[in-house]
Chains A and B, each alone.
Chain A
């Protein structure tokens, strides 16, 4: 399914080039003519954290984007023009992000392919919208971004709704009958839990036994666990973060719970396994977006990345890489860099091959399928259990 990378990329590019060569160029020549300079590079802007608490993520994303840019340029670029990547630091902070977005707009970017921290990405939405610049957001995935209902915003990472969908689908597939949902009362965690509850409670399949909120930053969750276990669930889904997740998994096992445990993407961290201890963590499931080490058929891509940058790709490398490829595809389909046409081209995309599966946007500009997969703790590390494709 995913072994397409180099071949599919060439194929997609080739057919796109043929298409534009056949009819696009001639048709569009008239309205893209005068103000667009044919030989200038197509500028892609990328806001990522390069300093601050999330600084470690920045290089994973910008390196992967640069890899995609170089690959596309090596094949002759897009519409005969080369791609150029311009990065700016958002420091995972709203003020820095707004300043960075203005800087990129002034620099004359045609598309934005950045956005990691949801809170920092949110204020950049109107800035890019005003400048008529389409945004392909590789990582940030808060429902707040979708709720702005801006037509230039496209999310290629899974959202809370999709995470809930993946969780419910997997629990039904795995034969769950009574599901306990536990969250930490933060908006992110509660949102996933409530959406999962709505899906689980649809007729047929499992049902929700209990929805339980815990206080984060505590050590002892035995009171919550006693309450949850009194409902005799066979599946417990924790949607919060890894510190509490590790403690809850351990204390569930200590309380004699023998059913299955699953955690959300905020809990996917090696620290969770360390806190829970290897025995309690063994066989624990997780809903998680694709990371390079759980991708199937990405060996060549990982090798290319490593050859170029000397390090392994990390979280959101694959999404950043896909964002550049998607941007190139949109420019090809639109026959130029006009904002309106790029948006229509992105909306019209159907079946574009990406790491997360064939791409088609929903009317809300989020992924219509894929995005989340199921991991399992095996030999003290998270490994792929089911890609849910």
Chain B
């Protein structure tokens, strides 16, 4: 039982990290950025390239080196997110929502198959992998590397929360999310704020990509597709646009999958998880912590 909880929380923390970017972008420009999962993939490949360029890394140095790579990758994927917004989304901001949605799907394919063309269709394996001792915690097998990854995820999420709720920057973001036109009238540079939101969200996805590469080892050009969908589900369950809700949604989805697999069998896991998504959309479309938005006319 505790093993199931731990498995769910571990997978859920990945979902939460990726879902945050979804949620922030949706919160600020009401766009479902379907290319977001591919920024996770991009992060994994950037980390792979940096590690490859760094050459051999001894096992003792693995963790500090990976943390450094993580920070570097967050910068690169963050910038990629900014470029994506500038190239693909900014000019369409006044266009119907459907055009933006289709553009996002197009951007997703461009990233996936661009990576395939650049790096090949064969899966790659991370040259440095975390390996840690196993601990028994309340009857669950937990490795130190898993604890480290969850700790990193929690630190990133706390940092994000502080940034959004306590800084000037964050206040500007919240203002733009509430009403971009009024925010612009108050002297906020809306374009810059949207760029920064993309930077933050994409950096978190890139961090998750490197962490997945370092933990699971295998990366490939399609790895962002499924996790993108799962992160979207997590965001909807928690309340898209709401940061604590999204984190909660990620963890909840991880737990749902873990228990769904155990109770119903592996072939029913996605039926179970996505069934819950449909249930949420019908019963509580705003998600667990999402607030009811009055339709603006």
A and B found bound together: yes
Q: B-contacting residues of A (Cβ < 8 Å)?
A: 185, 212-215, 217-220, 222-224, 226-227, 230, 243, 246-247, 250, 254-256, 271, 274-275, 277
Question: B125 contacts which chain A residues (CB < 8 A)?
Answer: 271, 274-275
Question: A223 contacts which chain B residues (CB < 8 A)?
Answer: 4, 7-8, 11, 257-258, 260-262, 266, 269
Q: Contacts A185-B267, A217-B226, A219-B212 given; indicate if A227 touches B262 (C-beta within 8 A).
A: yes
Question: Whole-angstrom distance from the CB of B12 to the nearest CB of chain A?
Answer: 10
Q: Ordered nearest first, which 5 A-B pairs have the shortest CB separation?
A: A223-B261, A213-B267, A219-B216, A222-B7, A213-B266
Q: Contacts A227-B262, A271-B122 given; indicate if A247 touches B222 (C-beta within 8 A).
A: no
B265 touches A213 (CB 8 A): yes
B122 touches A250 (CB 8 A): no
Q: Tell me whether B123 is interfacial, beta carbon within 8 Å.
A: yes
Question: B262 contacts which chain A residues (CB < 8 A)?
Answer: 223, 226-227, 230
Question: Whole-angstrom distance from the CB of A205 to the nearest CB of chain B?
Answer: 25
Query: Roughly how many angstroms separate A213 CA and B270 CA in the complex, as a whole number?
Result: 12
Query: Roughly how many angstroms separate A230 CA and B7 CA in the complex, as a whole number?
Result: 14
Q: Contacts A226-B4, A256-B134 given; indicate if A246 touches B218 (C-beta within 8 A).
A: yes
Closest-by-CB residue of A relative to B134 is: A256
Question: Whole-angstrom distance from the CB of B205 to the nearest CB of chain A?
Answer: 15
Q: Tell me whether B97 is interfacial, beta carbon within 8 Å.
A: no
Question: B129 contacts which chain A residues (CB < 8 A)?
Answer: 277
Query: Roughly how many angstroms separate A275 CA and B223 CA in the complex, as a whole number?
Result: 15
- Per-position 1/0 for B131-172, Cβ under 8 A of A: 000100000010100000000000000000000000000000
A226 touches B212 (CB 8 A): no
B217 touches A277 (CB 8 A): yes
Query: Roughly how many angstroms separate A227 CA and B1 CA in the complex, as a whole number?
Result: 11
- 21 A-B pairs in the complex with CB atoms less than 8 angstroms apart: A212-B265, A213-B265, A215-B226, A217-B222, A217-B226, A218-B226, A219-B212, A219-B218, A220-B7, A220-B11, A222-B11, A223-B4, A224-B261, A226-B262, A227-B261, A247-B216, A247-B218, A250-B217, A256-B134, A271-B122, A275-B218
A215 touches B218 (CB 8 A): no
Q: Tell me whether B3 is interfacial, beta carbon within 8 Å.
A: yes
B123 touches A243 (CB 8 A): yes
Question: Whole-angstrom distance from the CB of A279 to the nearest CB of chain B?
Answer: 9
Question: Whole-angstrom distance from the CB of B294 to the nearest CB of chain A?
Answer: 39
A220 touches B216 (CB 8 A): yes
Q: Contacts A218-B226, A271-B122 given; indicate if A227 touches B141 (C-beta within 8 A).
A: no
Q: Tell me whether B10 is interfacial, beta carbon within 8 Å.
A: yes
Question: B222 contacts which chain A residues (CB < 8 A)?
Answer: 217
Q: Tell me whether B85 is interfacial, beta carbon within 8 Å.
A: no
Q: Tell me whether B220 is interfacial, beta carbon within 8 Å.
A: yes
- Per-position 1/0 for B198-226, Cβ under 8 A of A: 00000000000000100011101011011
Closest-by-CB residue of A relative to B264 is: A227
Closest-by-CB residue of B relative to A225 is: B7
Question: B225 contacts which chain A residues (CB < 8 A)?
Answer: 217
Given A220-B216, A227-B265, 19 other A-B residues pairs in contact with their CB atoms under 8 A: A213-B266, A215-B266, A218-B226, A220-B7, A220-B14, A222-B7, A222-B11, A223-B11, A223-B257, A223-B262, A224-B266, A227-B261, A227-B262, A243-B123, A271-B122, A271-B123, A271-B125, A274-B125, A275-B218
Closest-by-CB residue of A relative to B218 is: A275
Chief secondary structure at chain B's binding surface: helix
Closest-by-CB residue of B relative to A213 is: B267
Query: Roughly how many angstroms separate A24 CA and B244 CA in the complex, as a whole number?
Result: 86
Question: B14 contacts which chain A residues (CB < 8 A)?
Answer: 220
Question: B3 contacts which chain A residues (CB < 8 A)?
Answer: 226
Query: Roughly how many angstroms separate A300 CA and B228 CA in the complex, as a whole number?
Result: 53
The winner among A218, A223, A274 for most chain B CB atoms within 10 A is A223
Question: A247 contacts which chain B residues (CB < 8 A)?
Answer: 216-218
Query: Roughly how many angstroms separate A185 CA and B270 CA in the complex, as a whole number?
Result: 13
Closest-by-CB residue of A relative to B219 is: A219
Question: Whole-angstrom distance from the CB of A229 to the nearest CB of chain B?
Answer: 9
| Partner among A212, A250, A275, A277 whose Cβ is within 8 Å of the Cβ of B266 | A212
The winner among A219, A227, A243 for most chain B CB atoms within 10 A is A219
B123 touches A255 (CB 8 A): no
Query: Roughly how many angstroms separate A250 CA and B131 CA in the complex, as a whole number?
Result: 11
- Per-position 1/0 for B260-284, Cβ under 8 A of A: 1110011101100000000000000
Question: Whole-angstrom distance from the CB of B5 to the nearest CB of chain A?
Answer: 11
Query: Roughly how many angstroms separate A137 CA and B207 CA in the complex, as a whole number?
Result: 49
Query: Roughly how many angstroms separate A185 CA and B269 CA in the complex, as a whole number?
Result: 13
Question: A230 contacts which chain B residues (CB < 8 A)?
Answer: 262
Question: B134 contacts which chain A residues (CB < 8 A)?
Answer: 254, 256
Question: B218 contacts which chain A residues (CB < 8 A)?
Answer: 219, 243, 246-247, 275
Question: Whole-angstrom distance from the CB of A222 to the nearest CB of chain B?
Answer: 4
Query: Roughly how many angstroms separate A247 CA and B125 CA in the complex, as a whole number?
Result: 11
The winner among B7, B11, B212 for most chain A CB atoms within 10 A is B7
Question: A275 contacts which chain B residues (CB < 8 A)?
Answer: 123, 125, 217-218
A215 touches B270 (CB 8 A): yes
Closest-by-CB residue of B relative to A190 is: B267
Question: Whole-angstrom distance from the CB of B239 to the nearest CB of chain A?
Answer: 24
Question: Whole-angstrom distance from the CB of B256 to the nearest CB of chain A?
Answer: 10
Question: A250 contacts which chain B residues (CB < 8 A)?
Answer: 216-217
Closest-by-CB residue of A relative to B44 is: A219
Question: B258 contacts which chain A residues (CB < 8 A)?
Answer: 222-223, 226
Query: Roughly how many angstroms separate A212 CA and B266 CA in the complex, as a whole number?
Result: 6
B123 touches A219 (CB 8 A): no
